[in-house]
């Protein structure tokens, strides 16, 4: 009987622990659901949000969400609802069977241009190009639309990878949140597609598949809104899928053909016409890396990699990967000139500073900030300084060092 008090204490502890754990899970689920409803269903938070009455605003919004997403409409946080709320999804709110944006915006022309402004470091450049081309062909296969790739200037659909805030008033919130968003046809941002760089982009079913997400987002770029049909590509929840299966459901086809009509022929799908700089070869010519006299114009760290700049090219090397990716500078940052002089990264700001002559550019995330280039004298240099020879950033001191001839 000596162990009886201990056993009684243990039983008492367990009996209190499990209800507390259950209560905590319920509270977490309620908070997660409230945030989900605020983000995607226009729910306005108030102090009576969690009063479970059939007429409460919270219950009404849960029913609206359950109906839209094809769940049993109970108004309660049952397991099916909580499981779906926890899944990754696309960025815009749900507000029918196929649906279009308000006013049914669509492109008035049948030949559209697209441009990839920058590239994710998760994939080879060629893999990104292939995924985007294939995603567009999903829609051109069912419509009279054709897509032309541009490497310069404005395009109807501007495609970019960015993290957090990226100058469009709809910031990403890191890995696991909204994974991408795209805008309906129109001016300015109209048609543009943005992909969250904090996701791990892949060409397989692991991570976040670029082709599948791009195909969904380009549906928005062409004028489709979310679909209630859980089998449709335009259903707003990211799901595992079979790469060998054509992703469009009849609901998607009905929607896109409502806007643009059926395809004239299935043999003339997405013509891969590319508008390139006539002075630039289709593929960069690899410099001789075995040349004992090979030097680099600039070297910097960049998102955990090392970037080596040479003329109009650069290499990206990650310590965990044996080989280095090789690309044209213009394929990543079209605004940058070839032959950069110096560069350094400020990791805590997610910024990289790149110098050429008496100008410099600041890259935040993967995107050059729109106010650049600026003159280097805005950094405090006298106007007789015409270039920076070498620069590096000391993170321990929070200072940048600049080398000009024999001075720093």
Domains of the chain, CATH where assigned: 27-85 (1.10.101), 111-275 (3.40.390.10), 298-403 (2.110.10.10)
94 annotated to a ligand binding site:
no
How confident is the model over 176-208, as pLDDT tens digits? 778 889 998 988 888 999 999 989 999 988 889
How distant, in Å, are the alpha carbons of 86, 143, 224, 226 from that of 251? 25, 14, 11, 11
Give CA torsion, residues 310, 313, 318, 319, to 10 deg.
-30
Alpha helices in 190-307 (DSSP H): 210-221, 250-260
Cα dihedral 334, 339, 342, 345 in deg (nearest 10): 30
Q: Report pLDDT for 75.
A: 74
26-35, 91-100, 118-127: least confident range = 91-100
| Both structure tokens of 125 | 């450049």
Q: Is the pLDDT of residue 276 over 60?
A: no
pLDDT recorded at residue 288: 65
Average pLDDT of span 381-405: 90
Mean pLDDT of 18-23: 52
- Count CB atoms within 10 A of the CB of residue 77: 17
**Catalytic status, residue 197:** no
What average pLDDT does this structure show over 330-343? 86
Which of 35-44, 149-158, 376-385 has the lowest average pLDDT? Answer: 35-44
According to the annotation, is 181 in a ligand binding site? yes
Which entry of 64, 197, 217, 345 is annotated as an active-site residue? 217
> Residue for token digits 């983000």?
39
Residue 117's nearest CA partner among 187, 188, 217, 195 is 195
Q: Please give the residue that has the higher pLDDT: either 43 or 148.
A: 148
Residue 277: band (very low, low, confident or very high) from pLDDT cuts 50, 70, 90: very low
Sequence-separated (6 or more) residues with CB below 8 Å from residue 7: none
Closest C-alpha to 155, from 107, 191, 125: 191
User: H helices of 70-221, where?
Assistant: 79-85, 125-140, 210-221
pTM: 0.50
d(CA 62, CA 67): 9
pLDDT at res. 44: 62
Q: Are 363 and 369 in contact (CB under 8 A)?
A: yes
Ligand-binding site membership of 174 (annotated): yes
Residue 266 marked in a binding site? no
DSSP letters along 124-141, please?
A: -HHHHHHHHHHHHHHHHT
Enter the DSSP assignment of 45: P
Is residue 198 annotated as involved in ligand binding? no
Q: Produce one character per residue of 93-125: b if its CB has 16 or more CB atoms within 10 Å, e if not.
A: ebeeebbbbeeebbbeeeebbbbbbbbbbbbeb
The CA angle 386-390-319, to the nearest 5 degrees, is 145
């Amino acid at each position: 009987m000596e162990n009886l008090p201990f056993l009684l204490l243990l039983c008492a502890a367990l009996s209190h622990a499990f209800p507390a754990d259950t209560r905590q899970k319920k509270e977490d689920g309620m908070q997660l659901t409230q945030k989900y409803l605020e983000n995607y269903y226009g729910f306005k938070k108030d102090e009576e949000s969690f009063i479970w009455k059939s007429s409460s605003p919270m219950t009404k919004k849960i029913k609206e969400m359950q109906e839209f997403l094809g769940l049993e409409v109970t108004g309660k946080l049952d397991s099916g609802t909580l499981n779906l709320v926890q899944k990754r999804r696309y960025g815009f709110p749900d507000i029918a069977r196929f649906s279009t944006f308000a006013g049914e915006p669509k492109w008035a022309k049948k030949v559209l241009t697209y441009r990839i402004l920058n590239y994710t470091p998760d994939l080879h450049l060629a893999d990104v190009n292939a995924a985007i081309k294939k995603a567009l062909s999903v829609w051109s296969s069912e419509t009279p639309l054709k897509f032309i790739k541009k490497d310069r200037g404005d395009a109807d659909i501007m495609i970019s990878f960015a993290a957090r805030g990226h100058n469009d008033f709809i910031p990403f919130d890191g890995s696991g949140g909204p994974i991408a968003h795209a805008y309906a046809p129109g001016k300015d941002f109209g048609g543009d597609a943005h992909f969250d760089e904090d996701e791990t982009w892949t060409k397989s079913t692991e991570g976040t598949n670029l082709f599948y997400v791009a195909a969904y987002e380009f549906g928005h770029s062409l004028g489709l809104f979310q679909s209630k049909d859980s089998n449709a590509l335009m259903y707003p929840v990211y799901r595992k899928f079979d790469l060998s299966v054509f992703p469009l459901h009849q609901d998607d086809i009905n929607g896109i053909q409502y806007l643009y009509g059926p395809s004239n022929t299935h043999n003339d799908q997405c013509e891969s016409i590319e508008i390139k700089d006539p002075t630039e070869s289709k593929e960069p010519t690899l410099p001789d890396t075995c040349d004992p006299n090979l030097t680099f114009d600039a070297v910097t760290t960049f998102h955990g990699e090392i970037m080596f700049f040479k003329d109009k090219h650069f290499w990206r090397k990650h310590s965990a990967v044996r080989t280095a990716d090789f690309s044209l500078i213009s394929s990543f940052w079209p605004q940058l000139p070839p032959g950069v002089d110096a560069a350094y990264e400020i990791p805590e700001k997610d910024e990289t500073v790149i110098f050429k002559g008496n100008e410099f550019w600041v890259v935040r995330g993967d995107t050059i900030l729109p106010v650049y280039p600026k003159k280097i004298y805005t950094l405090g240099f006298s106007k007789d300084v015409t270039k920076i020879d070498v620069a590096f950033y000391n993170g321990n001191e929070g200072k940048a060092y600049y080398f000009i001839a024999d001075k720093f």
